[in-house]
Amino acid sequence: MCGELHFRAVVVALLGILTGCQSLSTTGGIFPAPLPVKIRFLLTFDDGPSIQTDDNPTLSILEQLAVNDVQPAIKAVFFVQTRNANGGGTEIGKAIMRQTYSAGHVLGLHSASPRGHVAHIRMSSTELNQSLQDGIADIRDITGHDPGLVRSTFWAFTDQTRRIYEDNHLNMLLTDVKAHDGVIRVFNVSLRRRSHIHSELRAVRLAIERGELQKADCFVPVVVAFHDVNTFTARKFTEYLHILMEEAVKAGLKPAEKPFYDATQDVERIALLRTQPPVMVASLKPDVLALYQSGARRGRESISPCI
Ligand SMILES: [Zn+2]
């Protein structure tokens, strides 16, 4: 029985290769044939900044984004908690948010409640509205302009919370791939992170095939979510970059030659394009609108070839 199944599996795999559905990897494994479109990863981080004094995980991630052996100078979106008493609400936290912005990353809003990482859906409308306004002001103090992006805490949102985001000109960005590193269970995460990422990238492939994830400029952006307060994530972050690349190929996805977004303007613009529901242009503030429209203009002019 097992022998027959094995034989069948080999025949199916060979047929797949012959008909172009699958391809042999360099290590002899059989992967699905890559889709014709290329993907590019848009990295995002939630819950920071960390104010840990030894081996600060947020700073460690900033260093690895800048210098690693996959692609240097990667830029990301950091969804920060600007008033967390153990993070952004402290002087160290504020300094790290400034450093993050100075390094060319985008600051989005995650929470601005002094009560910490509170679910937006559990806050009264008044409290949520006030906390968003506080967070916008905190980020404006650092960057000089209002943030255009928000990520709901615990990924939880309702029509009401979304309306309050929109009233504050905030666009909600969810994710395609989660590193599942929000809860710090070191052994669990370390053993299963590759399989988690693989299964989510397979779902990304199916979403592209169904036409649900579309190209923006030249590539299909794939949003990936990490937690920069997680010390395990920070220690292993460069490994995560490799895992994303390797598991994408195994899932039949073709990363672009530059597999990660590395220009601040592109990061913010592409993130806006991927917000849900799609941005309402009429609701964008002038500087965010200009950024949003710069993409359309650049697309028409086709300045850079799709490589
Ligand atoms: Zn969070």
Residue-wise pLDDT tens digits, 65-104: 999 999 999 999 999 999 999 999 999 999 999 999 999 9
In a domain, 286, yes or no: yes
Asked whether residue 265 is assigned to any structural domain, the reply reads yes
> Is 13 a domain residue?
no
Domain count, the chain: 1
Domain that holds residue 146: 32-298
pLDDT tens per residue, range 97-156: 999 999 999 999 999 999 999 999 999 999 999 999 999 999 999 999 999 999 999 999
For residue 240, give the CATH number of its domain: 3.20.20.370
Question: Which stretches does DSSP call E strand in 7-105?
Answer: 22-24, 30-32, 38-46, 77-81
Q: Do 234 and 228 form a contact (C-beta atoms < 8 A)? A: yes
Q: Please tell me the distance between residue 169's alpha carbon and the centre of ligand 1 in angstroms.
A: 20
Residue 90 lies in a domain: yes
| 300 Cα to the center of ligand 1, angstroms | 37
Would residue 45 count as lying in a domain?
Answer: yes
Q: How confident is the model at residue 27 (pLDDT cuts 50, 70, 90)?
A: very low
Distance 135 CA to ligand 1 centre (A): 15
CA of 81 to the centre of ligand 1 (A): 9
Ligand 1 centroid to 83 CA: how many Å? 13
Cα–Cα nearest to 249, from 14, 5, 41, 8: 41
Q: Which pTM was predicted?
A: 0.85
The verdict on residue 42 lying in a domain is yes
State the distance from the centre of ligand 1 to the C-alpha of 261, rounded, in angstroms.
Answer: 22
| Contacts with 93 (C-beta within 8 Å, 6 or more apart), sequence order | 49, 51, 84, 87
Domain membership flag for residue 108: yes
Q: Is residue 24 part of a domain?
A: no
Write the DSSP string, 132-200.
HHHHHHHHHHHHSS---EE--GGG---HHHHHHHHHTT-EE---SEE---SS--HHHHHHHHHHHHHHH
pLDDT in tens, 39-48: 999 999 999 9
Q: What is the Å distance from ligand 1's center to 46 Cα?
A: 5
* The amino acid at 1: M
Tell me: cis bond preceding 49? Omega within 30 of 0 counts: yes
Angle at CA of residue 20, ends 17 and 26, nearest 5°? 55
